[in-house]
Structure 1
């Protein structure tokens, strides 16, 4: 029934998005249409990557989910950069980190925990990802903030470019480590769960749907960005709130749905890989790529976040590491992550 609903939203939302853009309908109305359309398109991306995940295994499957889920975020951010909305872009990166670590992981642990009293995942992957989380969020994001206090704007951006190159190189090295040189070295008994499940779609169909959905998302995302200023004025929202909460949730809808579905099926390796892997990809690949892409636009994007953003991300990292370092989870740990997300959401709304 949910799949039918998303199908109807795509069937109606895409033509409405095109018509609304061409006929200049109310931007507040179109903001809602664009968001629903992107979420419904993201659901198809999620189902396609889930099919590919069954064929590829939990690690590569989780990586695929994170990659195509973050493709939406990257597309929206590029159009926002083009419009000079650097604060929205930085806020959306913050929202993605918070959303993946607290909202996605929290909902996955909570919903999966309601069905299973205890859910296990690969503790070796969790420990490996913990180190990368500390590096990506705390080292790579906090350092520019500290040094920028004694630097000019141009020097801060040059520092951001250097850090971005290092982040991308380390992220690629991490993928090479996990998928090539040490693939299968750190096995866990939960890696053997549900190996024989049949994918919903074949490989070719899944890839075709991914490509079509990505093109559609790119078109709708460009229109969505143009509504931010009007919507912010209409509802009294700040650019910070739009980026941290609205854009992050809409942009990451694909992996939100996929991770929760995987947790409900007790496929916790994939669920954790989506939530944490997506965070690492945002911090170590998407953010640095956006810094480099901003070289093409008038407004540059330094990796300098506000203090509330930094403290929220650091808190989310330490809370996630604390709850996942033992390799198992339950519904109460999920509820703890969700509570932290709600507290931060209220703070950003009132800020």
Structure 2
């Protein structure tokens, strides 16, 4: 999950050649440029020695809880719990729970990135890959435990649709308007690889749906579930291989950039300065995950009541509202990076997140449901599967040339509006199984 901590990254004192070229800094006895005080760069937040981790609990709480303005929404989650016990008004419990989860998801991403600064870029990439969609995974596990299999399927499908169409479209559109360029470029290889993984995920969803709708199962009602579990295990193996491949490539790129100028993203990571200690980051990861788990329980329980109170379909809430609001912080960061002409990071947030949901979170949910005794499968039914297939094909087609512009962004946004409107008028025939 993307965070705003990239804006607070610093250059370490050892990087002095650019300062000397600009005439900044003073010469010491060895005729080297002396680094400027760190406190001048960060508003006095770190008036400590570089590398020190003895920062104290209160300092950590101040950084984690007061730094982000989104934390003002945290009380909404506790208010949702209070309303749930007092009035059982699900029409208010659902939106308040959702608002309470937003800052927790953003801070979870912040803590993950802070821990990654201690483990190194390779292990940090693995941590980000693991925790990036932790919120969706926690919500899915709570829904599985309550037997709401369609909520799991539709919320995960909605996350893929919103990331690939709405988020990527806004990033392309905003980047094209703000950067003053006719086109922006990104790494075509990464985009093509992620598109291929998304198509593989669609293949995993299409086969069980075709068995179901053509009534060609060897064992009616059993073959589809068995195929889903087998395909899920294969998809998890493929995703693990993808992570290994990406980390290996990252390591080789790091070695190739040693002594030379890497890209801006590499410099940002190499010279990033952790704001909290390693053990504080681990503790905050546990705390935020626990909070998200508590709020998710009330959120999932209130979906049906909110649908009745607002007179809108459960499918629309699960597929459109839940992913958009729940990932609002992540979506905003992707657009901001695109507007700074750092489109590769935006694609990592949008397409990378969709790849992780389709190749890890969905099959992992099937395996977890298997262990819980819940018949969670990869049969997302005809309407949802067709929507996903068309979306992946459209996005893969637009990414194939490695460039973006305003019109491509507008196309993706309009496609998402069509999909969202479709789910608003969609009467789910399997709603009784929610």
* Higher alpha-carbon deviation: 246-255 or 153-162: 246-255
Aligned equivalents of 1:103, 1:63: Cα separation in 2: 26
Q: How far is 1:267 from its partner?
A: 2.4
Task: Report the counterpart of residue 195 of structure 2 in structure 1.
Answer: 130
What are the within-5 Å matches in structure 2 for residues 1-351 of structure 1? 5-10=69-74, 12-49=75-112, 65=128, 67-116=130-179, 117=181, 118-137=183-202, 139-148=203-212, 149=214, 150-151=216-217, 152-180=220-248, 183-184=251-252, 192-194=263-265, 195-196=267-268, 198=272, 201-202=275-276, 204=278, 205-351=280-426
Aligned equivalents of 2:354, 2:372: Cα separation in 1: 26
Aligned equivalents of 2:173, 2:262: Cα separation in 1: 21
Q: How far is 1:327 from its partner?
A: 1.9
Q: How far is 1:15 from its partner?
A: 3.1
Aligned equivalents of 1:284, 1:57: Cα separation in 2: 25
Paired residues of 2:91 and 2:310 also in contact (CA < 8 A): no
Paired residues of 1:38 and 1:250 also in contact (CA < 8 A): no
Paired residues of 1:61 and 1:270 also in contact (CA < 8 A): no
Q: How far is 1:68 from its partner?
A: 2.8
Name the structure where helix makes up a greater proportion of residues: 1
Decide which structure has the larger Cα Rg and report it.
2
Structure 2: 5+ residue stretches without partners: 1-65, 427-434
How many correspondences in the alignment? 348
Paired residues of 1:108 and 1:271 also in contact (CA < 8 A): yes
Change (3 A) 1:64 1:264: farther
CA RMSD of aligned residues (A): 3.0
Paired residues of 1:99 and 1:248 also in contact (CA < 8 A): yes
Aligned-partner SS, 2:133? helix
Paired residues of 1:122 and 1:191 also in contact (CA < 8 A): no
Structure 1: 5+ residue stretches without partners: none
Change (3 A) 1:340 1:323: same
* Higher alpha-carbon deviation: 189-198 or 122-131: 189-198
Aligned equivalents of 1:123, 1:231: Cα separation in 2: 42
Which deviations, in whole Å up to 9, do the C-alpha atoms of 1:252-308 show, x marking residues without a partner?
334323322322333222211121111111111111111111124454111111222
Paired residues of 1:59 and 1:273 also in contact (CA < 8 A): no
Which deviations, in whole Å up to 9, do the C-alpha atoms of 1:116-143 show, x marking residues without a partner?
1233221211122222121122x11112
Paired residues of 2:208 and 2:378 also in contact (CA < 8 A): yes
Paired residues of 1:95 and 1:243 also in contact (CA < 8 A): yes
Q: How far is 1:330 from its partner?
A: 2.2
Aligned-partner SS, 2:341? coil
Bigger relative contact order (CA 8 A; separation at least 6)? 1
* Higher alpha-carbon deviation: 244-253 or 314-323: 244-253
Q: Please give the TM-score of this superposition, normalised by the length of structure 1.
A: 0.88
Aligned equivalents of 1:297, 1:24: Cα separation in 2: 31
* Higher alpha-carbon deviation: 207-216 or 240-249: 207-216
Change (3 A) 1:329 1:310: same
Change (3 A) 1:58 1:136: farther
Aligned-partner SS, 1:226? helix
Paired residues of 1:66 and 1:255 also in contact (CA < 8 A): no
